[in-house]
Amino acid sequence: MPKRSSAATLTDIALQAQVHKTTASRALDPARRHMVSPEVVRRVEAAARALNYRVNRAASALRTGRSGTVGVLLPDITNPVFPPILRGIEQALAAEGFFVLVADTGNEQSPDQAADRMLAQRVEGLIIATSSLHDPLVERLGQDQVKVVLVNRRDEAGSMPAVVSDDMLGMKLAVDHLAAIGHRRIAHLSGPLGLSTGALRKAGFERAMAAHGLTPAGFAECAAYSCEAGEAGTRHLLRSGASFTAIAAANDLIALGSIQALQGEGLRVPQDVSVIGHNDMPLVDRVSPPLTTVRILHYEMGFRAARLLLDSLRGVPGTTSTVVLRPELVVRASSAPPPVGKAERA
Amino acid sequence: MPKRSSAATLTDIALQAQVHKTTASRALDPARRHMVSPEVVRRVEAAARALNYRVNRAASALRTGRSGTVGVLLPDITNPVFPPILRGIEQALAAEGFFVLVADTGNEQSPDQAADRMLAQRVEGLIIATSSLHDPLVERLGQDQVKVVLVNRRDEAGSMPAVVSDDMLGMKLAVDHLAAIGHRRIAHLSGPLGLSTGALRKAGFERAMAAHGLTPAGFAECAAYSCEAGEAGTRHLLRSGASFTAIAAANDLIALGSIQALQGEGLRVPQDVSVIGHNDMPLVDRVSPPLTTVRILHYEMGFRAARLLLDSLRGVPGTTSTVVLRPELVVRASSAPPPVGKAERA
DNA sequence: CTGAAAGCGCTAACAA
DNA sequence: TTGTTAGCGCTTTCAG
């Protein structure tokens, strides 16, 4: 009779199955099961089921150095960009028996603290969605040989493996669309330029404009990827005296804030000004007007980041490379040809 | 010279600080530090810093039986209801040095599998947002003495501690509002009745209607909390020949789907039919028309659930009780007085 | 206040 | 194919 007080251990099932606990351990591990006779495997499995045995990962982690966990650092899980990324990560990891430790570093804790606590937990690697272009944390982790994959953002040096969307291409799609329907005076509302998404989308905007022989009709950096920052940026743009018939925003929330601010000034979207977002967040197809935007494959991004990390943990070569996913344009009602006679004016 | 190959251990810092590793362990634990002379604490801390020491939680988990982790089961992290709940959980746990292990059980894995894997990881408790009214998993976990807190949903028996919003009250707020602006013929689109939120909101709707001396003007059960299910439910309602001037939906997504379906039939919201949602999800203030809804304190719900679990882990008494939070009505443009002459008709 | 000893549950290495 | 031995790094006795 095994003690019912606490969980069954290998010793318990070894006793019950009349084998040594080492044998029991082997019989229960798919990777080592072949070393054990079928009959013994059967007995051990029966005993394990009977005693409701579950391997103690704390013990095996201590012994093997592998915890079966991966840490994920997110800036703000309530930002709609991140749930599908997290979901992709979780699905890829769960398929391999790994678990996700999440830390939302938006509020109380710093990414550094969170990363340290995760390393104490002996996570086998880290997936980071919080990194800025020059991130001391990422640098430090790299020096400490911690396995790291960046997701959605990349570092300036490009020395860390990352899975990102092609941010330059995304803005090119936006600008190409606006130019194709007749816009010549296009302004840009960027995200924080300290983030790769902010900097690259701005660069992509400028390059795409140049390719059309256009010069930016206005620019403002938004301090955050939020509606509020989008409103503020737009007011700044309007006050600067810039004249434009379209705004390419670096993010859907910024675009929504921008629409709000434009409407507050009596401007109609898209009749007076077209606005295009970025990300294709949930519900932006139902706002008024439905938002034209650039769709990013967030789930895929998370999934690939996790796969990359898993491969790297297993020593698969070539896992230091960066994966770049293709975004696509989604045209809805917030973009339309510029008002007649205005496109060429000013 | 400590070996630089792998992470520093207590033995390493004990050596460096010229004390026994037991003493080093005590010096680094705030709860046992007082047993050690200040001078030794200083030396040990210096050594720890110098060697970049981080306690190995796998080892301490094995020794103490406490892993410092809590598992969270979510049905679908991309459903906007759950990110703020997860955030609340994470913040409350992080403040106490705990980590969250998340599993999204929507896709590949079943909640049962996920829970088993989590128990193998020796999570100290489980926070479950996936439970149905009669949930075999929850029952089993209860029997196995696993510490469990339900969040957002509760079990039929009410035997498990849970943190939920007052779903009956939420529907009462919705019905009271519609009645106050003149509606008499109100229909209900419920969520899945196998979930406490679906069943309780339906019950709340019916009770509130009765309190006003009204009988439900129509009803359809939506198979999921999604726009698609809301559309389907609404079409069902329309085809059933029900006559109504308002719909109280059990969820914002259902409400948005409903609006879509109504508009598809040439009905205007709110001029012909008022629609009211539930949850106050992000961006529903910017859809067309802005959605009147019942706001639920999701972050608070997650935070309180985590606190409840932590207290329970520490043996604080009274942690088996269920916490019920108060929702509040948010009036926007999707609700308005019924069309003149229609309120009393049919 | 500090040290010695023991052992949590598991698996790698070696032996039979 | 199975068993023996040892030890991962920590913390909890118990002794001094």
Q: Does B95 touch chain A (CB under 8 A)?
A: yes
* Chain A interface test: which of B283, B287, B293 (most A C-beta within 10 Å): B283
Taking only the tens place, the pLDDT of each residue in B296-337 is 999 999 999 999 999 999 988 887 889 999 999 999 999 999
B19 touches strand C (CB under 7 A): yes
Which of A95, A101, A284 comes nearest B101 by C-beta?
Answer: A101
pLDDT at B307: 96
User: Which residues of chain B lie closer than 8 angstroms to A103, CB-CB?
Assistant: 90, 94, 99-100
Which residues in chain B have Cβ-Cβ distances shorter than 8 Å to A284?
283
Q: Residue B104: list chain A partners with CB under 8 A.
A: 86-87, 90-91
Residue A42 neighbours by CB under 8 Å, 6+ apart: none
**Minimal CA–CA distance to B220: which of B247, B260, B259?**
B247
pTM for this model (two decimals)? 0.94
A121 interfaces chain B, CB cutoff of 8 Å: yes
Is the Cβ of A110 closer than 8 Å to some Cβ of chain B? no
- Where does residue B267 fall: left (phi above 0), alpha (psi -120 to 50 degrees), or beta otherwise? beta
In three-state secondary structure terms, B137 is helix
Residue B79: pLDDT above 90?
yes
Nearest to B198 by CA among B234, B226, B175, B177: B226
The residue written with tokens 């109100």 in the block is B186
- A contacts of B62 (beta carbons < 8 Å): 56, 58-59, 62
What is the spatial distance between Cα A137 and Cα A71, in angstroms, rounded to a whole number?
14
- Using the CB atom, is residue B34 less than 7 Å from strand C? yes
Closest partner residue to A58 among B67, B87, B284, by Cβ? Answer: B67
CB contact under 8 A, A283 and B256: yes
Which residues are CB-neighbours of B319 under 8 A, at least 6 positions away? B161, B308, B309, B311, B312
C1'-nearest nucleotide to the CA of B60: D10
- pLDDT of A171 reads 98
pLDDT tens over chain A, length 346 residues: 333 457 899 999 999 999 999 999 999 999 999 999 999 999 999 999 999 999 999 999 999 999 999 999 999 999 999 999 999 999 999 999 999 999 999 877 899 999 999 999 999 999 999 999 999 999 999 999 999 999 999 998 888 999 999 999 999 999 999 999 999 999 999 999 999 999 999 999 999 999 999 999 999 999 999 999 999 999 999 999 999 999 999 999 999 999 999 999 999 999 999 999 999 999 999 999 999 999 999 999 999 999 999 999 998 888 788 999 999 999 999 999 999 865 443 3
* Tokens describing residue A95: 């398929």
> What is the 8-class DSSP label of residue B34?
G
Distance CA B25, CA B21 (A): 6
- DSSP letter, residue A327: P
Helices A10-17 and A21-28, packing angle to 10 deg: 100
Q: How far apart are the C-alpha atoms of B119 and B71, rounded to whole Å?
A: 8
d(CA B342, CA B346): 8
How far is the C-alpha of A204 from the C-alpha of A207, rounded, in Å? 5
Which residues on neighbouring strands pair with residue B247, listed in sequence order?
A: B187, B275
Q: In this complex, is the C-beta atom of B263 within 8 Å of any C-beta atom belonging to chain A?
A: no
**Would you mind telling me the total number of residues written for chain B in this entry?**
346
Point out which residues pair with B221 in neighbouring strands. Answer: B190
Q: Find the distance separating the first CA and the last CA of chain B, reported in whole Å.
A: 90
